A and B are shown apart, each in its own frame.
Chain A
Amino acid sequence: MDSSTPISIDVKQVSEELRIRPEMYVKIASSFVNSLSGKLKILSDAMSIDDRDQMRMTLHEIKGTAGNLRLRNLSAVESVMHEALKAGESQSRLTQYFEALRRESEKLQLYMNALSARN
């Protein structure tokens, strides 16, 4: 899990793969990325009371949409945290993974905002 990996999304290629219009891809992906801070807040709140069901549900939601939109860096970071949760790893380890997820989300948000501005 290397959160220093730069983000690069080939909108044309992903849109062709999904068979959707590129402008719609940017619109849908931006909407998702902008909703991430809210989802991370839910995740953070769940972590603070060790509500693992809520953590699982929130991670599952992020995973499903990130995967559908081919946001591979985010999916990869999420998967590590999801597996750690399933394995019953400690709260401190989950916090580390959460921080990596938050950093990846912030990078993605900056990237998508720049992409939206160009389109």
Chain B
Amino acid sequence: MHKILIVDDNFENRMLLAEILREIAVCDFAATGKEAIEAYNMSTTRQSPYSLILLDIELPEVNGLEILYRIRESEKAAGIALGDGVPIIIVTAYEKRFVEAFNKGCDDYILKPIDTDVLLNKIAAILEKNDTA
């Protein structure tokens, strides 16, 4: 089983995503930007990295784009090249945010309302690529 971090401030969205992913992953949850950073840091400290992070953009405290930036900066500081870090899929209702998200190093995006087939295909493609790397 893969290990996926779901970052979303809405409880029902987190539950829905975990239910969609139940056959392919064990999920951790973060409801705020601060919790997301803590979960990510803990995963690297314990050398138990996430297979993937699903990251909502609109979050309290620290927004998703800032989290994305901080994770990529942390990886850079650890000598991890862009593209070799934890895969991150941005989840948003705003198409306009994609360009900014890609510039900050996200691997892919999914639009809300979530299309399950699209989501699972995108996740499978990323996990497959990483499994064979």
Interface of A (DSSP majority class) = helix
Interface of B (DSSP majority class) = helix
- The answer to whether B116 and A19 touch across the interface, beta carbons within 8 angstroms, is yes
The smallest beta-carbon distance between A4 and chain B, in angstroms, is 24
Out of A19, A20, A24, A64, name the residue touching B10 (CB < 8 Å).
A64
- The answer to whether B12 and A28 touch across the interface, beta carbons within 8 angstroms, is yes
Query: Which of under 10, 10 to 19, 20 to 34, or 35 or more describes the interface residues of B?
Result: 10 to 19
CA distance in complex: A64, B19 (Å): 17
Residue B13 interfacial (CB < 8 Å): yes
- The answer to whether A19 and B112 touch across the interface, beta carbons within 8 angstroms, is no
Chain A contributes a number of interface residues (CB within 8 A of B) equal to 23
Out of B10, B20, B116, B117, name the residue touching A61 (CB < 8 Å).
B10
Listed A/B pairs (11) with beta-carbon separation below 8 Å: A17-B116, A18-B116, A19-B120, A24-B19, A28-B19, A31-B12, A60-B58, A64-B58, A64-B93, A65-B12, A67-B113
12 additional contacts, CB 8 Å, given A27-B15, A31-B15? A17-B116, A18-B16, A20-B16, A24-B19, A28-B19, A31-B12, A63-B93, A65-B10, A68-B12, A68-B13, A69-B12, A70-B113
User: Interface residues, chain B, CB within 8 Å of chain A?
Assistant: 9-13, 15-16, 19-20, 58, 93, 112-114, 116-117, 120
